[in-house]
Structure 1
């Protein structure tokens, strides 16, 4: 995909709207009571906590500040996400903080499941993996580059573990091992302190 349709941008929301939407969903009794999304509700609540923590504690590196400061052509960073996505809770606040360093950059968000045609243009190993941020020239909506769904080191860890998990036939063991795996992923993010996300996103920006 060389350009993003203006109609998609019209349906996008800002970071604060995204944050407010999560709070709204978690306050609605019918959303909380739907058994089909019980796990998603639990993840969404944890994600809100993670986002709020990063909003307060994530620090941008000197290199991040320097490189983003020299962007002179207006850009839109369009992030594909979903409120239940645990990786999005770690990545989206970081992208938002980076975008906020330069008033020529606007960070917008759209939901993956509402835009399959957009998601399918940016598959990761054939999968609709999120979050994924598309860098656009604001005037033309030309695609300059994209990054996601997670830092390379963590991505390799995730892919290796998913292969192992898919081989487990026992339901209870699969559940237990999955929980352990997800805990390790969150520990990786906590230890990394957003630095890998910043570094890799800057590399994409250089090429853009």
Structure 2
């Protein structure tokens, strides 16, 4: 996909609206609370806590500040996400903080399951993996680059463990091992403090602005 359809951006929302929507889902059983209602609501509640923590504590590196401040071309960073996604809760606030460093950058969000054609144009190993941020020229909506769904070190860990999990036949053992796996993923994010996300996104951004 070389350009993004303008109608997709018309349906996008900003980060503040995204945050408010998550609160609405939790307080009103909003229509976007998805198929597995009980587990989705549980995950979404945890994600809101993670997002709010990162909103307060995530720190942008000096390199991040310098590189993003130097951008002169107006851009839109379009992130595909879902409110129940644990990786999105860690990545989206970081992308938002990076975008806020330069008023020529606008960060917009759309929901993966509402835009399957867009998601299918940016598959990761054949899957609809999120979050995914697409870097666009604001005027032409030309795709300049994309990054996601998670830092490479963690991505390798996730893919390796998913292969192991898929071999488990016993339902209870699967639930136990999967819970342990998800805990390790969140611990990785906590230890990394968003630095890998910043570094890797900057590399894609450098290519996009070359």
Q: TM-score, normalised by structure 1?
A: 0.97
Taking the aligned partners of 1:30 and 1:63, their CA distance within structure 2 comes to 40
Q: Does 1:203 align with 2:203?
A: yes
For the residues of structure 2 that align with 1:147 and 1:30, how far apart are their CA atoms?
29
1:191 to partner: Cα distance: 0.1
Is 1:20 aligned with 2:20?
Answer: yes
Distance 2:19 2:35 in 1: 23
Gaps of 5+ in 1: none
What is the CA distance between 1:36 and its match in structure 2?
3.1
Task: Deviation per CA, 1:140-166: give whole Å up to 9, x if none.
Answer: 000000000000000000000000000
Tell me what 2:56 maps to: 56
Distance 1:28 1:170 in 2: 36
Which residue of structure 1 lines up, in the alignment, with residue 8 of structure 2? Answer: 8
Q: Distance in 1 between matches of 2:25 and 2:93?
A: 19
Q: CA deviation at 1:37?
A: 1.7
Partner of residue 139, structure 1? 139
Runs of 4 or more above 6 Å deviation: none
Give yes or no for contact 2:154–2:188 (8 Å, CA) kept in 1. yes
Aligned counterparts of 1:141 and 1:105: Cα–Cα separation in 2 = 13
Match in the other structure for 1:153: 153
TM-aligned CA deviation for residue 61 of structure 1: 0.1
Q: Which residue of 2 aligns with 1:86?
A: 86
1-side partners of 2:62 and 2:69: how far apart? Answer: 11
State the alpha-carbon separation in 1 of the partners of residues 201 and 181 from structure 2.
Answer: 25
**Residue 182 (str. 1) matches residue 185 (str. 2):** no
Q: Which residue of 2 aligns with 1:106?
A: 106
Residue equivalent to 1:70: 70
Query: Quick check: 2:24–2:30 contact (8 Å CA) kept in 1?
Result: no
Could you tell me the TM-score, scaled by structure 2's length? 0.96
Structure 2: gaps (5+ residues):
none
- After superposition, the C-alpha distances for 1:41-78 in whole angstroms (9 at most, x for unaligned) are 10000000000000000000000000000000100000
The total of aligned residue pairs comes to 208
Residues 139 and 34 from structure 1, CA distance in 2 versus in 1: closer, same or farther, beyond 3 angstroms? closer
Q: Residue 126 of structure 2 aligns with which residue?
A: 126
1:99-146: CA deviations, max 9, x gaps?
000000000000000000000000000000000000000000000000
Q: In the TM superposition, what is the alpha-carbon distance from 1:28 to its structure 2 partner? A: 1.2
Q: How many Å separate the matches in 1 of 2:5 and 2:109?
A: 14
